[in-house]
Structure formats: structure tokens, C-alpha cells
Chains A and B, each alone.
Chain A
Amino acid sequence: MTQVRQPPTTGIPTPSVREIFMGFFSIGINGFGGVMPFARMMLVEQRQWLSADEFLDALSMCQFVPGPNIVNLAVAVGSRFQGPLGSLAGVAGIMAAPMVIVIGAYTLLMQMAESPVVIGALRGMSAVAAGLVVALGVKLALPLLRKKDWLSLGFTVASVGAVGGLALPLLPTLAVLIPAAIAAQWWWMKGRAR
């Protein structure tokens, strides 16, 4: 295994499997509308398992690997301190409470599915939730627009068009767009270096 276990560089003792579970449990239960800010608060400020730089480093890796970022972060942090068991504890910690809560909330709402108040509330919330995602997309696209990064924006538009407009399946779309986007970035970077 490539895994190297290291104690925290912040000087605190290595967290145990149980502490890893509890730490990620607290992230899961607090993370309303996005868990990453809470993850940073817990890992860097409260428990100081990671330095600020280590957190950024781990985050950029988790964004690079496919899959849910926060779960990947739990895997990376858990494995660093306690190997495979630490990873399992982190993932179980982050998922346990939210899964119970969301299933409970769903079951409760379905009991009242006929109630016009519940139907109305869900309608209103759905409209807001959709707006949250649009805002996220705009926020991510803005830096590209500000930098006038037409190359990246071209691929952004292509992926909106393919997946949103034409409803093409994701796998073949990514198989074409991602290598093309990476090659284009590489070629552009080379051109600038010259």
C-alpha cells in the first residue's frame, strides 16, 4: 500500500478511529447547505488535525478524484491517521446522521403528502433549491468570464449544450470533452511558455 500514516503536523496527538468517526459525525450533522465550510472549521480550527495548507492540498486532491468531495476527504483524512479503518470511520461518521435524518424527513412528509400546505411548501423549496444550483453555476463561471478565458468557456458552453440541451449521456460526453479540454489547456499553456 502506498499509504503512509503520519501524525498531525500541528503537534496534537494522532486522532483515534473513534475520534475520526466523531469528528466527521459533527461535520455531517452541522453541514446545512454545504458541508465543506464546516469540514474546514472542524479539521483546521477546532480539532487542528490539518494545517490550513494541508486542508487545501487534501481538498484539491478530492476534487481531482471523481465522486463526492466530502466523502473523499473523509477517506483521505481517515487513512492518513488510522489507515483503512480510519477511512471507514470517517465515511461512516459523515453519512450516518444525515442519512437517518433525510429518510426520516422524507417518510414524515409522505405521510402528509395530501396536505396542500406540505405540497405548497415543497414547491416553494424546490424553486429555491433550483435557484441555489443556478447561482453555483454562475459563481463558478464568473472567474472564467472575468479572466476572459474563452478557451475554458468554450468547453463550458459545449458541456451545457451536450448535457443540458441535447440530453446526451454523460459518459461518452465526458470521454470526448475532458480529453479535448485537457489537450487544449496543455497546448495553450505550451504556446504561452514559448
Chain B
Amino acid sequence: MTPTTTAVAVGSAVRATGLRKSYGDHLVLDGIDLDVAEGTVFALLGPNGAGKTTAVQILSTLIGADDGEVSVAGHDLAREPDAVRVAIAVTGQFSAVDKLLTGEENLRLMADLHHLPLTEGRRRAADLLERFDIVDAARKPAMTYSGGMQRRLDLAMGLMGDPRLIFLDEPTTGLDPRSRRGMWQIIRDLVAEGVTIFLTTQYLEEADQLADRVALLDHGRVVAEGTPGELKRQVPSGHVSLRFADGHQLDRAARALDGSRPDGEALTLQVPGDGGVRALRALLDQLDRVAVEVEDLSIHTPDLDDVFLALTGQPDTVEVISR
């Protein structure tokens, strides 16, 4: 089987133009364009229902698109799905492991389906069990595994076929913070080996931590795209938030500080600024001069949350992280 390769720009692991998909009357993907360079981490970021999973299902050949030109791993998605399948691995939001089989049996099942020789398959299964820290539970049915362990097994199963491109659909949703950090490290290690990662997430911090480029997906449209740094520059700079004991203090502080925005209900004052030590000292000195007591102070540096809020206007769908 030597599939004829379609000509695409070298260096693109995923290239989509005008990708469109609807379920009946419900438009899920409204003509999105994506370009993921080989060997990078690309994050598709968006709230629940934005169309992230649908995008992954289309790009991984599970479902068909209604419209759009898509090439994955250098092959046209519609014409050469099997050539695409050879190059990819998919780890879904719900673990795609055989829960009745043990971890080891799941890995050997993958080895058999990749037609690896028996000894080679067993060796690689043992290596992956070791690498993903599943050795102790290797002989236990996967249904007894914790969420984090099932997710690791799921990813390990995908690696059996030496994929060049890995789709991770919300790889850390539902995991505890420690498992999440473990998964991040695994992803970084994969990237170091030259694998391309296509990640979806609803956690802004995750995209910020892992991705080279981020696309913000909202209601089936890409509303912003760029490096995490570029996206952060699209929103106003950060601010310092001051809280006071009463409205009187708040008023005096608001008069003393130019450009500040008081909130009479919460007794807080937002002062624009990046929260650097020098600026902070100047701010406190100024308050001292007008003899205002600050009850509480917090610094808010711009993060992807701000980008998200600024671009989608959906404050209820994201967790705002105050720092």
C-alpha cells in the first residue's frame, strides 16, 4: 500500500481552510482555518460547546466535514483517510481504552493492530508501561484505574504506532492538579521528540503553559489566533486591585489616583499598571500621602482569560484566575 501523496506545503502537520460542520440546524464549525506547523504544540482553546471536539473528530477521520479543504500529516483528509490514520494518534476526553482488558493487554492489542512482530510488540508494551508509570497496575483491568492512569494508558496506546501527530482532546479535563502536571510533562517530552501536538482545552493556563500557538474558538469560529504572548498583547495591560474599609476611604483614594476605576459596591479600586515592584511602591507612597488605609491588595497580570473575555464577552464560561 503506497498511497499517493497530495502536494501540501512542507512543514504543516494540519492545514484546514473553511472547515465547516453542522449537526442538522446547529452550526458547530463555521468555516475555520487552521495551520499547525510540524513539531509544535497547537492549542484550540474554547468553552464547552465551542466545537473543539468536533474539530478533533473531523481532523482524526472519525467524522466527515460538510465543507472545507483539509490536509493532515500531508494527506488529503477526504481522499486518503487511511494514510492520515497511519500518521496520527487520538486521545479523547473519555478514555478510549478497553476497560475489561488489563493495561498490558490494551498495549499488546495496539501492537497487534499495528502488525508489530510479537517480541517487538511485547518489548514496546513493557517500555510504555514503564514510561507512563503503569507497571504496578499492568496486570489489572483498566476499569480499576484512576482517571489519570486511564488517560496515561490511553496516550501510551496511541504511541504504539509511532504517530507523527497526536490529537489530545481535553487531555487533563477531570484530572487532579498533580495528574494534570504529570500529563503536561508527558506532553513536553513528546514535543522534545519531534511529535506535533494538536491540543484542545478549556483551561487557559494549559494553553499558556504548553502551546506554541493558540487559536481561540468560540461558537464555531476562530476569534483570535497567535502565540500566547501575541494574544496577551491584544488586551489592555494588567491592574492592581485595592480594597478599602469604607466608601469614604475609597473616594479619597480614587481622587488621588488618576485613571482608577472605583467599585462602590465591592469597595475596590482598580488601578491600571503592570504591578511591578517600583510602580507598586509609588502607588502605596501616593496613598500614604493622602492617608488612606488599604485593607487588601491584589495584582492582576494579563493572562489568556483577559484575552478570552475581551474577545468573546463570555465571562461566565471561564474561570478567572486572580494573581
A binds B: no
User: Residues of B with Cβ closer than 8 Å to A?
Assistant: none
User: Residues of A with Cβ closer than 8 Å to B?
Assistant: none
